[in-house]
């Protein structure tokens, strides 16, 4: 764990923290090879790599409806209710994001401009498995797509050692409204959705988080399918002052650390006392976590940094561009107003990342590794596309006739100019 005053850290140490994510390039060749096999071998490659990486053989790649129904019916009813509550909140939040689907304006007499928004035809949702099941990610990826009006939403998720998908993940897929569920994960799942196979539907866009291999796979198939953004190992940055509770801050760092050995937890604070107490709490709380080995590895990536001013904390956060940002300060609104880059922002001591991960309604599929500088977290617009519209009369065209002809001829595109002139020539 990196610990110390920002003023005493070397520029190299700070840059290493900010420029995390360099491991992506190290797996390019492996990912490319797997994708190539999936493209040429289809289902045979999916079965081969599932056996290799997941240690299980699969026959039927698509999970039948009967298996999904059985899973739903075997889950504890109280847990189903909690999934329904989370799903309802996620649905309400994303419904509030829906833009006006068509509008128009009169630019000038005879010139009416506007736009029409339509949903993508098909979307693939990747739901990780492996170390844990993530029914919450099924809700977070499938529900917004369905709210947007996507007709075909398919889901890929790794099978367990028995060749079956975790029943809780299947129940969440049913609640979310997935049209098809496939028991395949990793790079091979991304390839299957991008290229299509005999069993897996080819989609227009792939969304969802994953490990470094899944992230690189998404980046490599963009000539075949669009993606949301790179979403790899999870991370949190916490801005706190002396008003923050050390145990709460430490708990949130540990919660982030238990995701993955490559997860990153960072505290930037103006209080040396808080920093010291949080470090003690992190080390103490880590002893009792159920995912101790993962937490221990992840904390090697953690940092507790002491800044001179709150503005310095904000500057570090904006340079880091965290996936998750927590603000625990006396003047939360001031800090919030100065934040420029963050995937999802949690304001106040009672807004931990955990609540956004599951039930508040905001989306937990977010850009990592600094990509929050240029990407938004998963939202309704990821599933929509915009077409511009122009409705122009002869009168309206006349007002821009000379401009179009002049510019077209200047660019050497005579036919473009003639397409305007012919509309004002004698019809005979």
Give catalytic residue positions. Answer: 323-324
The residue written with tokens 């990826």 in the block is 141
Cα torsion at 26, 31, 36, 42 (round to 10°)?
A: 170
Distance between CA atoms of residues 237 and 20, nearest Å: 13
For residue 139, which of 80, 97, 202 has the smallest C-alpha distance?
Answer: 80
- Calculate the alpha carbon distances from 391 to 73, 101, 104, 111 in Å: 53, 17, 9, 6
- Structure tokens belonging to residue 291: 């995912």
For residue 210, which of 365, 88, 340 has the smallest C-alpha distance?
Answer: 365
Distance between CA atoms of residues 376 and 85, nearest Å: 25
Strands 226-227 and 205-207: parallel
From start to end of 10-73, where are the E strands? none
Q: Exposed, middle or buried by CB within 10 Å (0-12, 13-18, 19+), for 287?
A: exposed
- Structure tokens belonging to residue 286: 């880590």
Distance between CA atoms of residues 311 and 316, nearest Å: 9
Distance between CA atoms of residues 374 and 128, nearest Å: 24
Distance between CA atoms of residues 241 and 245, nearest Å: 9
- Structure tokens belonging to residue 75: 């889950």
- Structure tokens belonging to residue 340: 């420029």
- Structure tokens belonging to residue 284: 């103490």
Asked if 159 and 130 touch (Cβ cutoff 8 Å), the reply is: no
From start to end of 232-383, where are the E strands? 235-240, 264-269, 303-306, 324-328, 344-347
- Calculate the alpha carbon distances from 190 to 179, 210, 227, 375, 379 in Å: 17, 10, 10, 20, 20
Residue 49 backbone phi and psi in degrees, to 5: -75, -25
Q: In terms of DSSP H, where are the helices of 302-410?
A: 310-320, 332-338, 353-358, 394-410
């Amino acid at each position: 764990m990196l610990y110390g005053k920002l003023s005493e850290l070397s520029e190299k140490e700070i840059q290493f923290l900010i420029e995390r994510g360099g491991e992506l390039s190290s797996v390019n060749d492996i990912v490319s090879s797997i994708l190539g096999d999936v493209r040429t071998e289809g289902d045979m490659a999916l079965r081969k790599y599932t056996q290799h990486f997941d240690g299980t053989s699969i026959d039927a790649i698509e999970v039948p409806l009967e298996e999904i129904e059985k899973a739903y019916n075997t889950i504890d009813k109280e847990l189903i209710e909690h999934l329904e509550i989370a799903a309802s909140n996620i649905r309400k939040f994303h419904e509030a994001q829906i833009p006006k689907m068509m509008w128009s304006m009169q630019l000038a007499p005879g010139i009416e401009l506007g736009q029409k928004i339509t949903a993508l035809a098909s979307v693939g949702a990747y739901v990780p498995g492996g170390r844990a099941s993530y029914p919450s990610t099924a809700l977070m990826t499938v529900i917004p797509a369905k709210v947007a009006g996507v007709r075909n939403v398919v889901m890929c998720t790794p099978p367990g050692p028995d060749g079956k998908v975790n029943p809780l993940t299947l129940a969440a897929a049913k609640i979310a409204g997935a049209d098809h569920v496939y028991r395949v994960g990793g790079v091979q799942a991304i390839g299957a959705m991008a290229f299509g196979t005999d069993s897996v539907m080819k989609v227009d866009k792939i969304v969802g988080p994953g490990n470094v291999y899944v992230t690189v796979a998404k980046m490599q198939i963009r000539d075949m399918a669009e993606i949301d953004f790179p979403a790899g190992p999870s991370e949190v940055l916490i801005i706190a002052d002396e008003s923050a509770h050390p145990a709460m801050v430490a708990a949130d760092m540990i919660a982030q650390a238990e995701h993955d050995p490559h997860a990153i937890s960072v505290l930037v604070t103006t209080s040396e006392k808080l920093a010291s107490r949080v470090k003690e709490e992190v080390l103490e709380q880590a002893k009792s976590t159920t995912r101790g080995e993962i937490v221990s590895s992840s904390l090697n990536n953690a940092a507790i940094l002491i800044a001179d001013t709150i503005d310095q904390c904000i500057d570090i956060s904006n340079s880091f561009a965290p996936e998750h940002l927590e603000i625990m300060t006396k003047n939360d609104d001031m800090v919030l107003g100065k934040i420029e880059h963050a995937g999802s922002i949690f304001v106040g001591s009672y807004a931990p990342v955990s609540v956004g991960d599951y039930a508040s309604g905001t989306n937990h599929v977010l850009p990592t590794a600094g990509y929050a500088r240029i990407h938004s977290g998963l939202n309704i617009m990821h599933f929509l596309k915009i077409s511009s519209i122009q409705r122009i009369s002869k009168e309206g065209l006349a007002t821009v006739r000379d401009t179009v002809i002049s510019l077209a001829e200047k660019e050497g595109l005579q036919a473009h100019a003639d397409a305007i002139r012919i509309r004002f020539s004698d019809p005979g």
